[in-house]
Amino acid sequence: MYSVIVVPPACGTPDSQIRIATGDRLCFGRARAQDRLTLAHDGVPRVAGEITAHRTYWLLSNLSEDRTYVVENPEGAGEHVKVAPGRLEAPVPFEFSRIVLPAAGDLLAIDVWGPRHAFRSAPRAGLHGPPTAPAFALDRTTRYYAVLAALCEPRLRGAPYAPLPTVEQVVERLRPAWPAASRSAVYWNIDYLAVKLRLRPGPDSATPGQRVHGKKESLVSLALRFDLVREDDLAVLAPTAAQAPRRHPGTFQVPALHGAGESGRTTRS
């Protein structure tokens, strides 16, 4: 039997959590009732919404008249679902979710834990033809990937709306693993990534640094949307054993960063 765990705002103990099984419904709002999650805030509608458990996911109904609810994936670096006023049974696919309710200038949050996701792979034995080309040909040991990881880091560290780091901040972040990092090298790798990931149609003809903010936003948006950089991948930003003067036993080591291209080209440093 699948179940969904609802964690009310300011939940102090596990006993305050609410568990609903598949097919069960939980209403929430300002109005008090025995079978309702009560949110004692003047900005919450008396009948605000309803959560329904449904096997491996759950459904959210927005019963307000004039406000949009947002369901965030706290582990998804900004991934979210908007549920418009009056929308019934919007499916929420995240294992861990946060319903954000706008309430008279405040943002109230209700955490929801859904069932653990199941995964499988289709059998491919005996299939003919060449193997499928990779979706994104990224080498995680290269400098361009380290630049991409540094750009994504603030949003992967739990701040989905954090501003992207400046080029100067990226340089400082990369120096422990790449002592020769410089502004021009970071700009070069951002341009390289924009072409490699087909965010630009051809070779870079602009002056280094021009429109870099738009390129950074596009790169980070694409990388986080398709999981090209995950939180575990931030290990590439750590110095190697040879670069670090001291290392505690058991610390994760990463390979030295290579140049940008797969055919022997190197980044400018």
Give, in degrees to the nearest 5, the angle at Cα 191 between 161 and 234.
50
Architecture of the domain delimited by 3-113: Sandwich (2.60)
User: Taking the complete model, does pTM exceed 0.85, yes or no?
Assistant: no
Give the pLDDT confidence of 76-99 residue by residue, as tens digits. 778 899 999 999 999 999 999 999
pLDDT of residue 257: 56
Is the pLDDT assigned to residue 263 strictly greater than 80?
no
Name the average pLDDT for the chain: 83
Q: CA 237 to CA 152: how far, in whole Å?
A: 11
pLDDT of residue 251: 39
Q: How far is CA 155 from CA 13, 152, 220, 225, 268, in A?
A: 29, 6, 9, 12, 27
Is the pLDDT assigned to residue 106 strictly greater than 80?
yes
- H or E stretch including 147? helix 143-156
Is the pLDDT assigned to residue 17 strictly greater than 60?
yes
Q: CA 236 to CA 140: how far, in whole Å?
A: 8
Q: What percent of the chain has pLDDT over 70?
A: 83
pLDDT of residue 111: 93
Is residue 57 within 8 A of residue 48, CB to CB? The reply is no
Is the pLDDT assigned to residue 12 strictly greater than 50?
yes
pLDDT of residue 213: 60
pLDDT band at 247 (very low <50, low <70, confident <90, very high): very low
Give the pLDDT confidence of 145-196 residue by residue, as tens digits. 999 999 999 999 877 778 999 999 999 999 999 999 999 999 999 999 999 9
Give the pLDDT confidence of 119-152 residue by residue, as tens digits. 888 887 888 888 888 888 899 999 999 999 999 9
Per DSSP (E only), the strands in 192-237 are none
